[in-house]
Structure 1
Amino acid sequence: MQAIVKMQRDQIRSIEVKQTIQDAFNNYVQEVHQGLVWTGACNSWYKDRLTGRVTAVWPGSSIHFMEMLQTPRWEDYELQYMNVGTNEA
């Protein structure tokens, strides 16, 4: 909801996670899971079968996950605004 409100209020056309932020998060997730049960030798729905990368497990508690979703870090996103340098509506 916060993203929708921000888009309407600030006339934002699109919101996209910055690639550097996404890459850093992905690397962090893989580091956290090293040595944990998620990276074991078995096949599972939460791992990529070809690479073994964990793809579907949050690297923390469910409380941590909910806290992370409470307030967006807008500096982690590329925001494309409407009407910037154009006469578009």
Structure 2
Amino acid sequence: ELLEEIILVDDASEKDHLGSKLEDYVAKLPVSVHVIRTGERIGLIRARLKGALISKGQVITFLDAHCECTEGWLEPLLSEIHNDRTAVVCPIIDVIS
């Protein structure tokens, strides 16, 4: 299995759907999901670091709220990391519509 856990870091969002509705939704998912709330805006990098500090996986992938993944997006990235554990990888965006 490729996915060990999902960590969602909420950087003090005020959007209603990211409150209890989000908690209810992730509780039903078949994978471990942790929702971390910062309480006050700390910014992108600090929010990512907060999530990374509690992660348990061997590989960490950062996605922002505007990112959308399609089936099969992760495997090529993991393959490159498997070939070189010191690699930093990112997907190729060849089509923007």
Q: Rg: which structure is higher?
A: 1
* Higher RCO by CA contacts (8 Å cutoff, separation 6 or greater): 1
TM-score w.r.t. the length of structure 1 is 0.21
- Determine which structure has the larger helix proportion and give its number: 1
TM-score w.r.t. the length of structure 2 is 0.20
